[in-house]
A and B are shown apart, each in its own frame.
Chain A
Amino acid sequence: MMGKRIRSVFENAAIPILATILGLVVSSVFVVMAQSDPIQGYQRLFCEGFGPKGCETFGDLIIFHPQADDGSTQTVFGPTYGVKGHPLAIVLERGTILILTALSATVAFQAGMFSIGMDGQLVLGAVVSVFLGFWLPDQIYALAGVTDPEAAPPALLTAMHLFVPLVCIGAAMIVGAFYSWIAGYLKVKLNVNELISTIILNAIAVKLVGYLINFPLRADFNNVARTRRIDDTAWLVPFNRGLLPDVDWFSGSRTGIGIIIAILAAIFIGLYLWRMTAGYEQRMARGSSLFARFGGIPSERAAIRAMLISGALSGLAGAIQILGVERRVVDGFASSGIGFDGVLVAILARESIPGIVLVAMFFAGLEQGAINLQFGNLPRQLGGIIIAFIILFSSMEDFFRRNIGRIQARLRPPKIASVVEPGGGGT
């Protein structure tokens, strides 16, 4: 049993791994065109993305020999060597939002809804949480008669630290869920193509948020329009700022509760899809909608529920990005297409939950590495190019399989078996 399981995991992982290698190889053409050395370029890329501070070679990613202040060298395990912070901490920060949006996409896909509305849901969730993040504490202070938040009673602050982020996150999830519900309802009740409707809904959300930031929520006369910063009580405080004793590994990153929420969400979605009847309903509705109807599964309800969960996850992603990382919304956030990456992660992870976590981290590391890439003439867009090729190659699975299958069929003599005609044969 176990061997079989391992084999199937390996088989599922083989194509993404192959695609990643092919993607890197093909992208190296671009590195060469930029007159750089691909091996060295990739070494820098991966060190900046995944390696400890001071990483120079691929080997340093795993086994690293840092020089101590006194000049002596040590031998340490790369991923845990966190003096002055570790890029992986930033990968976790960037990966949080990718995990959540990829989960969002997966829940929708697993109901047969090809929704790519994560972007719109995310930016709406972000703007709702930023608004509540400063407005709600204002109201509470006013009610409690506190004029200077610094002088507020500690009990009140503690209560607010617990209560305000919860409300912000909850509201963002509700708004995201509602926005996603629109596309779900239109699909289920009126058969409006959800791909098209989510594209349009994304465009509307981006414009709406652009308007909100530039007008009603604009905080100051800063060149680039931006909202007020959220109150400290709404802040999902990063790990290395007071919440936990400072852990050096996390320095320089804003990783915090968000990643824990994201992992919990991943576990929940895994349970939901594969262990709960509700997840079963939506998967059956996707695999064969006639079958679901025939079996008495309320598939419309299941599809709408999937869209609600999907939207809530995207809204959650937006809230965490704002409450934990950015703390305000700046103009341009909405149109950055931040929610699209999750769709790509979900596709590459083939909708597997552990796969999503891994791929999200990989993408985050590639992007992070590319941004910090200081090697020759290589622009950071190399990261995007690599990702595009990896996606292309990973979706060539059918092509690979077809050709492998064809070769295998040649080698195997045909069975003389029963009688099936193509397309079901003549009635």
Chain B
Amino acid sequence: MITLLNSYNRQIRTALLIGGALIVVLLFFGLPEFMVQSSIRRATPYILGSLAALLASRAGVLNLAIEGKMLLGAFVAVAALYKTGLDPMVGVLAAAISGGVLGLIFAILYLRIKINLIILALAVNLFVSNATVFFMRTNYGAFGTLADPSINSLPTLPLPIVDGIPFLANRFSNYNIIVYLSWVLVVVVWVVLFRTRFGRHIRAVGENRAAAEAVGINVTLVQIFALTLSGILAGIAGAFLSIGVLSQFVDNMSAGRGWIAITVSLFAFEQPVAAFFTSLFFGLAEAGSATLQTDASIGLPPDILLMIPQFATLIALILVALRIRAAELLKRRNFAAQFGRELANLRRGVVAGD
């Protein structure tokens, strides 16, 4: 996958990015405010989740346990606030830590004990989805939903400057801290990956492990760090699900978002900024379908609409593959044609290379 993405042409990547951004911007200014707000909220777990996914896969580890880490974060955030009366930020912090710890354990099991990556991820996801419900029942006696008046959700905050601009204020301000954090993290992850030593080591490890090893980079350590950071991001995404919206934990509340986040990262060619826009698109599609669900007058059913991003990802995968195949064929054809010319020149008595 990594090599596949790296061989992908830069121009196409840029075009996709610009195209994506254009669509998103157009849609945003053409949509009613509540839709924009709903889209951004729904996009937030995807932004954080896809950052988590791309951070891991840039370091050469396909992290299929994002779903589990997200779910754990969601649960821990609520558990930390349950009857403690603490500030919801403590919940976010607890979720981030729990995601990070799970990421660390995952990294150690994979890198030191050398458990097969995919099996490990499936086991971790299975464990978290059962263990969260288990503790919900045994520790809190809750069935299906863990909620309590003592759990405060994150307050919405006005965004300075933007809040003063009338048109933008209703669209891009008054979200909770995690939403803003996710925007900042897009930039942070980009800077880390492309402008820092650590990021360069991550990319080197993911792209050519042997090269990194040969210059003395501790590959295992880099991967452990990347997976831990990935876990932290996924944990925050989970906290958004539980205390960013409703302030409750529901059985299996990540509901496949972790898997979708992986496809977002793939669709975005593991580029943070592209992942941001792709997430917005997913959020938009979800918000749209939620609206349609309540508005029976429109014919397009929500499930069908939610299939669109999935289809898009599949098609993107196919396009990338086709492009690589085409490039190879083109090279071949050029080679054959050029050779034919050379041969003709030789027959005419012209020495090749002159």
A interface, CB within 8 angstroms of B = 30, 33-35, 114, 116, 186, 190-193, 195-197, 199-201, 203-204, 206-208, 210-211, 214-215, 335, 340, 343-344, 347, 377-379, 381-385, 387-389, 391-392, 395-396, 398-399
Asked if A204 and B311 make an inter-chain contact with CB atoms under 8 angstroms apart, the answer reads yes
Known: A207-B303, A391-B126. Is A377-B1 also a contact (CB below 8 A)? no
Binary per-residue interface labels of chain B (288-319) against chain A in the complex, 1 for a CB within 8 Å, 0 otherwise:
00000000000001011011001101100110
- The listed residue (A35, A190, A383, A392) touching B322 by CB distance below 8 A is A190
Q: Does B280 contact A (CB under 8 A)?
A: no
Q: Does B287 contact A (CB under 8 A)?
A: no
Asked if B307 and A395 make an inter-chain contact with CB atoms under 8 angstroms apart, the answer reads no
Asked if B1 and A193 make an inter-chain contact with CB atoms under 8 angstroms apart, the answer reads yes
Q: Which residues of A contact B138 (CB under 8 A)?
A: 33-35, 377-379
CB distance from B94 to the nearest CB of A (A): 18
Closest to B305 in A: A207
CA distance A343 to B126 in the complex (A): 12
Q: Which residues of A contact B310 (CB under 8 A)?
A: 200, 203-204, 207
B131-156 residues with Cβ-Cβ distance < 8 A to A are 131, 133-135, 137-138
Asked if A204 and B307 make an inter-chain contact with CB atoms under 8 angstroms apart, the answer reads yes
Known: A30-B131, A203-B256, A387-B126. Is A396-B303 also a contact (CB below 8 A)? no
B interface, CB within 8 angstroms of A = 1, 4, 62, 109, 113-116, 118-120, 122-124, 126-127, 129-131, 133-135, 137-138, 255-256, 259-260, 262-263, 266, 301, 303-304, 306-307, 310-311, 313-314, 317-318, 321-322, 324-325
Asked if A208 and B307 make an inter-chain contact with CB atoms under 8 angstroms apart, the answer reads yes
CB distance from A196 to the nearest CB of B (A): 6
Give 19 pairs: A residue, B residue, CB < 8 Å, sorted on A. A114-B118, A191-B324, A192-B321, A195-B62, A196-B1, A199-B262, A203-B259, A206-B256, A207-B304, A207-B310, A335-B256, A344-B122, A381-B134, A382-B134, A385-B130, A388-B123, A388-B124, A395-B115, A398-B114
Known: A192-B321, A199-B262, A344-B122. Is A384-B115 also a contact (CB below 8 A)? no
CA distance A340 to B137 in the complex (A): 24
CB distance from B55 to the nearest CB of A (A): 17
CA distance A203 to B36 in the complex (A): 25
Closest to B138 in A: A34
Q: Which residues of B contact A388 (CB under 8 A)?
A: 123-124, 126-127, 130
Asked if B301 and A196 make an inter-chain contact with CB atoms under 8 angstroms apart, the answer reads no
CB distance from B318 to the nearest CB of A (A): 6
Asked if B115 and A201 make an inter-chain contact with CB atoms under 8 angstroms apart, the answer reads no
Q: Which residues of B contact A382 (CB under 8 A)?
A: 130, 134
Closest to A183 in B: B314
Known: A204-B311, A377-B138. Is A195-B304 also a contact (CB below 8 A)? no
Asked if A381 and B259 make an inter-chain contact with CB atoms under 8 angstroms apart, the answer reads no
CA distance A396 to B322 in the complex (A): 38
CB distance from B50 to the nearest CB of A (A): 14
Asked if A395 and B127 make an inter-chain contact with CB atoms under 8 angstroms apart, the answer reads no
CB distance from B198 to the nearest CB of A (A): 27
- The listed residue (B131, B134, B313) touching A200 by CB distance below 8 A is B313
Known: A200-B313, A385-B131. Is A344-B137 also a contact (CB below 8 A)? no
Asked if B306 and A207 make an inter-chain contact with CB atoms under 8 angstroms apart, the answer reads yes
Asked if B321 and A186 make an inter-chain contact with CB atoms under 8 angstroms apart, the answer reads yes
CA distance A366 to B114 in the complex (A): 27
Those 10 A-B pairs whose CB atoms lie nearest each other, nearest first: A384-B130, A211-B303, A190-B321, A388-B127, A381-B130, A34-B138, A379-B137, A381-B134, A388-B126, A210-B303
Q: Which residues of A contact B311 (CB under 8 A)?
A: 204
CA distance A424 to B233 in the complex (A): 41
CA distance A203 to B130 in the complex (A): 21
CB distance from B204 to the nearest CB of A (A): 20
CA distance A385 to B125 in the complex (A): 10
CA distance A382 to B115 in the complex (A): 23
Closest to A398 in B: B114
- The listed residue (B109, B129, B314) touching A392 by CB distance below 8 A is B109
Asked if B266 and A196 make an inter-chain contact with CB atoms under 8 angstroms apart, the answer reads yes
Asked if A197 and B122 make an inter-chain contact with CB atoms under 8 angstroms apart, the answer reads no
Q: Which residues of A contact B318 (CB under 8 A)?
A: 186, 190, 192
Q: Which residues of A contact B134 (CB under 8 A)?
A: 30, 34, 379, 381-382, 385
Q: Which residues of B contact A199 (CB under 8 A)?
A: 259, 262-263
Closest to A201 in B: B314
CA distance A392 to B131 in the complex (A): 15
| Given A190-B321, A203-B263, A343-B122, 12 new contacts (CB under 8 A) | A33-B138, A34-B134, A35-B138, A114-B118, A186-B317, A195-B118, A200-B263, A208-B307, A347-B119, A381-B130, A392-B115, A399-B115
Asked if B133 and A381 make an inter-chain contact with CB atoms under 8 angstroms apart, the answer reads yes
CA distance A201 to B48 in the complex (A): 23
Closest to A378 in B: B138
CB distance from A343 to the nearest CB of B (A): 7
CB distance from A248 to the nearest CB of B (A): 34
Q: Which of B1, B126, B321, B324 has the most CB of A within 10 A?
A: B126
Q: Which residues of B contact A200 (CB under 8 A)?
A: 263, 310, 313-314, 317
Q: Which residues of B contact A190 (CB under 8 A)?
A: 318, 321-322, 325
Q: Which residues of B contact A210 (CB under 8 A)?
A: 303
CB distance from B311 to the nearest CB of A (A): 7
Known: A197-B314, A382-B134. Is A396-B304 also a contact (CB below 8 A)? no
Q: Which residues of B contact A197 (CB under 8 A)?
A: 314, 317
Q: Which residues of A contact B116 (CB under 8 A)?
A: 395
Asked if A399 and B113 make an inter-chain contact with CB atoms under 8 angstroms apart, the answer reads yes
Q: Which residues of A contact B304 (CB under 8 A)?
A: 207-208, 211
Asked if B263 and A196 make an inter-chain contact with CB atoms under 8 angstroms apart, the answer reads yes
Q: Which residues of B contact A192 (CB under 8 A)?
A: 317-318, 321
Q: Which residues of B contact A208 (CB under 8 A)?
A: 303-304, 307
Asked if A384 and B129 make an inter-chain contact with CB atoms under 8 angstroms apart, the answer reads yes
Asked if A211 and B118 make an inter-chain contact with CB atoms under 8 angstroms apart, the answer reads no
Asked if B301 and A215 make an inter-chain contact with CB atoms under 8 angstroms apart, the answer reads yes
Closest to B255 in A: A335
Closest to B62 in A: A195
Q: Which residues of A contact B123 (CB under 8 A)?
A: 344, 388-389, 391-392, 395
